[in-house]
Structure 1
Amino acid sequence: MPASRASIETVIALFAGEGYAHAEPAILQPADVFLDLSGEDIRRRIFMTQDADGRDWCLRPEYTIPVALDHIASGKTEPAAYAYAGPVFRMRASEPGEFLQAGLESFGRDDFTAADAEIMALTIDATAMLGLAEPRIVMGDVAVLGGLLDGLNVPQGARRRLVRAVVQGKGADAVDALDPPAADGEAAHAGLLKALEGQDPKAARAFVEDVLSIAGISTVGGRSAADIAERFLARAAERENPVNGDVKALLAQVLAVSGDPDAASASLRALADQASLDIGRQLDAFDERTGFLAARGVDIGAIRFSAGFARNLDYYTGFIFELHDTARGDGKPVAGGGRYDNVLGRLGASRPLPAVGASLWLDRLTGDAA
């Protein structure tokens, strides 16, 4: 049996034993859903084609979205769990564009922290079965940072820049991104920005769209009038409510928190209390997840939590993690995943569905080619 087939069967058998049904979505997928969820920069990395009607299609660049689409199409309303393994197609620096990926997805469970722990524990078990007994485990929690940003009333534009900087690995230095960039034409737009300050968001959005319509502007650089309106609103909000030095200092301290989950939780609680911020719900869930991980036999002391860790897909909404092989010199993960509760709704599910999952790069784990 070829090594690649053996790896696939090993992983699928492990996940099937835990109740995960084998999913095999089509290799050819509609491209628009990946562009909508992952951003336009993924266009450069996926293999695209067009059908006779001009609709864009792509070779499956990953499994999560195709599995989610198939689940929605099935009409199932009860919680469901899926496992998969097979080839995916995506351009990667210094690595083949076709490679083997395996993973698992859990949809619809309302015991969120137990589901998170199950996904992470099974991913660790799978990497062990494929030969990586002691991975370096990195964990983060987007929900904790989101709760702090909510409590601090950080404007949306500044939030987006901060999260982008965190994803880029800037750690505590990511707070520098909270300062609005110098915008070309700021003086020319000062009157419009001033007019938007303090307005009801819905009315302000309609006002900007009307101004653009009167000027005969429908798109600029691929952005719609609605997109342009949102950017003006974000800039107006930052003029009205700039991020002050105390907020930056607190967020720098938060993003510097790292260590095992128990120690990190204590540090985050202390910082939140110091700033009179209530993120108890997020940290209670954090601690509960840690307990479920321990109950599943995961060595909590081997996990490094970092508040400044984020994965490069912006659809994650909570717990995130990566596993690394310390023998690899490129720093690329061999597995990773997290919670993405908004994705199925954005894909057309009739109601919001909690979701958590993980993927394993089999070529990085075993050297198996697709």
Structure 2
Amino acid sequence: MAYQTIRGTFDILPDAHSSGGSTIQGAAAWRWVEGVVRDAMARFAFEEIRTPVLEPLELVARGVGGTTDIVQKEMFVVERSKESYVLRPEVTAPVMRAYLEHHLEQRGGAQRLYYIGPCFRAERPQKGRYRQFHQFGTELLGSDDPRADAEVIANLRAIYDAFGITGTRLRLNTLGDAADRPAFRDALRAYFAPHADVLSATSRQRLEANPLRILDTKDERERTLLADAPRITDFIGDDARAHYDALKGLLDGLGVPYVEDPLLVRGLDYYTRTVFELESDALGAQGALAAGGRYDGLAQAVGSKKPVPAVGYAAGIERLFIALAEQEVVLPEAPRPDVFLVCLGDAAEAAGFGLAQTLRRAGLAVDFALGGRSMKAQMKAADRSQAAVAVILGDDELTAGVAQVRDLGASAQRTVPIDQLALALTRDAP
């Protein structure tokens, strides 16, 4: 039986390839993306954190929210020894767990953390949406200062600017504080109840469990109803309103454009006050490149005795690649060797094996063929490798203590003493 990747997952290979009708970029492009993200994070003084992909089920259920689609429909659950675990569907709750477990507040000041890694959701695979997908993001924990909100948004904007992504929109809203929510929920229920026959089965369930989720609908009939629906901004308290006004002032001062969207609620229950989403037309109906907000109540939801003010975002790497392709950004390809050794005969193969290690210690990338192949076959392999030069060793060269160095681009060839090869090739290397 020929095994294949599970539906909704993919391999990252040395070169780009097609999987499920989508182009999956090669490993070099992924490393480049991660490098750009890490450089931007360093400029904002964010430090990397890595959490396990396997987390307690209760952590995710309590952190993300029991009424969310993630908890109700999309988690990959693992049962073992009467314990339930989940492949993490997002990283914010795990980062908060790590913050609390390791008492990171004792490091002093607000903690600026970032992550890069895979997440898992049992969704229907489609363009830019997979069952194993990859995210990068920030979590700024320990500050309720509006500048923290502005800082993570500025960081998000800086990263997409570094990639050269244009044509994006930053949507912004406030959800107020937890105390503001009940009155807004009641107002939404009162508004939508007479229209229950128009609502989908999913939205009718949300009407009872969490009517804010209806504001996130993509159903066109339901979106028509939203035009006259109550707005959260009519229910928020003075503190939340002052926080939101301060944030908008900070973004205006930084020259970060945004569009206020009173219907933006996000799909996770832990958000309070600020929520935001960065959209791109390149992604179609599911247009979010990244999204986030403030989640001051999350720490207590997952067991902390004290609140931990926090704000952050998550960004999809697969969706970033779609936007990069739309903008025709040229991505790095698999690295090519500097040198390809062509060895003719047993003695040359033995000498060439040691020579490869010598050249590598000098900082050169070296490849060679295995299995005693003919010179013609080895030269074809050298051409396929796209190495800069081929170093040819045979019995005559070994006797004379030299090697033939052939420029594979210009087809020029010269003779170089073997003991001077490393110096000559490193001098010529770009």
Once the two structures are TM-superposed, the CA of residue 156 in structure 1 deviates from its matched residue by 9.3
Which residue in the other structure is 2:225 paired with? Answer: 173
Once the two structures are TM-superposed, the CA of residue 132 in structure 1 deviates from its matched residue by 1.4
- How many residues end up aligned between the 2 structures? 269
User: Which segments of 5 or more consecutive residues in structure 1 lack a partner in the other structure?
Assistant: 176-248, 256-267
Which residue in the other structure is 2:34 paired with? Answer: 8
TM-score (norm 2): 0.56
**Residue pair 2:176, 2:241 contacting (<8 A) in 1 also:** no
Q: Which runs of 4+ in 1 moved over 3 A?
A: 144-162, 169-172, 252-255, 277-281
Which residue in the other structure is 1:360 paired with? Answer: 315
Distance 2:115 2:144 in 1: 23
Alignment partner of 1:314 out of 266, 269, 288:
269
Structure-2 change in CA distance of 1:116 and 1:361 (3 Å): same
Alignment partner of 2:122 out of 91, 100, 105:
91
Distance 1:140 1:362 in 2: 24
Note if 1:294 corresponds to 2:325.
no
The residue type equivalent to 1:283 in the other structure is: R
Which residue in the other structure is 1:124 paired with? Answer: 157
Which residue in the other structure is 2:97 paired with? Answer: 69
Which residue in the other structure is 1:38 paired with? Answer: 65
Question: C-alpha offsets along residues 232-291 of structure 1, whole Å, 9 cap, x if unaligned?
Answer: xxxxxxxxxxxxxxxxx7xx3637xxxxxxxxxxxx6xxx6xxxx884433322221011
Structure-2 change in CA distance of 1:357 and 1:304 (3 Å): same
Question: C-alpha offsets along residues 292-329 of structure 1, whole Å, 9 cap, x if unaligned?
Answer: 11233313xxx211112211112111110111111222
Which residue in the other structure is 2:211 paired with? Answer: 162
Which residue in the other structure is 2:239 paired with? Answer: 281
Alignment partner of 2:231 out of 254, 257, 261:
254
User: Which segments of 5 or more consecutive residues in structure 2 lack a partner in the other structure?
Assistant: 1-26, 191-206, 325-430
Q: Give the structure with the larger strand fraction.
A: 2
Once the two structures are TM-superposed, the CA of residue 74 in structure 1 deviates from its matched residue by 0.9
Structure-2 change in CA distance of 1:253 and 1:10 (3 Å): same
The residue type equivalent to 1:65 in the other structure is: A
Larger radius of gyration: 2
Which residue in the other structure is 2:138 paired with? Answer: 104
Q: Percent identity?
A: 25
Which residue in the other structure is 1:25 paired with? Answer: 51
Structure-2 change in CA distance of 1:152 and 1:62 (3 Å): closer
Distance 1:23 1:161 in 2: 32
**Residue pair 2:276, 2:291 contacting (<8 A) in 1 also:** yes
Stretch of structure 1 that moved more, 125-134 or 319-328: 125-134
Distance 1:325 1:108 in 2: 31
2:263 is paired with a residue of what secondary structure?
Answer: coil
Distance 1:3 1:152 in 2: 45
Distance 1:128 1:34 in 2: 32
The residue type equivalent to 1:288 in the other structure is: A
**Residue pair 1:89, 1:99 contacting (<8 A) in 2 also:** yes
**Residue pair 2:185, 2:212 contacting (<8 A) in 1 also:** no
| C-alpha RMSD over aligned residues | 3.0
The residue type equivalent to 1:92 in the other structure is: E
Structure-2 change in CA distance of 1:345 and 1:146 (3 Å): closer
